[in-house]
Structure 1
Amino acid sequence: MHNLKSIRERLCVTQQVLAEGIGCTQGNVGHYERGQTLLPEVAAKLIAFAASRGLRIGYDHIYGDAPLPQLEAEVGSAHA
């Protein structure tokens, strides 16, 4: 199992935006969110996409139970 939907929601993006960011179709993202296996190479693209949008995650956040961090913009505004 993986946490793709939670990560997408944390990023505040649609399935289409995520698909464009990781190089697949919106349909693929939907399948992944419903439980299709997320291959490590797709997970690596997800990590890079998330980082580009201010969310620092790793494989533990995708496949494990590590709690998702806040977006860097959210963290910065919480300290202001």
Structure 2
Amino acid sequence: MSNLKQYREKAQITQASLAERVGMTQGAIAHYENGRRTPGLNEARELVAALNALGADCDLDAVFPVAEAAA
């Protein structure tokens, strides 16, 4: 699961505003936040860059942590 929602809220931006900023739909942002979908590497980088431009002070691993391997 991503930490996108926490960082988006820290940046005080709506899903729709973030989506517009990176050229995605609000629905895509919602899916990423809820773990229904995972963005590709380029999309994840765009999201992190947008969040940082808004003052969130985060990196790729913080927003999209690597999932633990199943035992």
TM-score of Structure 1 vs Structure 2, range by shorter chain: 0.7 to 0.9
Give distance in 1, aligned partners of 2:63 and 2:43.
11
Q: 1:33 is matched with which residue?
A: 33
Contact 2:2 2:64 in 1 (8 A): yes
* C-alpha RMSD of matched pairs (Å): 1.6
Q: 1:60 is matched with which residue?
A: 61
List alignment gaps of at least 5 residues for structure 2.
Answer: 67-71
Give distance in 1, aligned partners of 2:14 and 2:58.
18
Report the alpha carbon displacement of residue 51 of structure 1 after superposing the two structures with TM.
2.0
Normalised to the residue count of structure 1, the TM-score between the two structures is 0.70
Contact 2:8 2:56 in 1 (8 A): no
Q: 2:43 is matched with which residue?
A: 42
Larger Rg: 1
Task: Give the fraction of aligned pairs with identical amino acids, expressed as a percent.
Answer: 38
1:7-47: CA deviations, max 9, x gaps?
Answer: 11111111100101121011111111111112211111012
SS at match of 1:55: coil
Contact 1:8 1:14 in 2 (8 A): yes
List alignment gaps of at least 5 residues for structure 1.
Answer: 66-80
Q: 1:14 is matched with which residue?
A: 14
Q: State the number of aligned residues.
A: 65
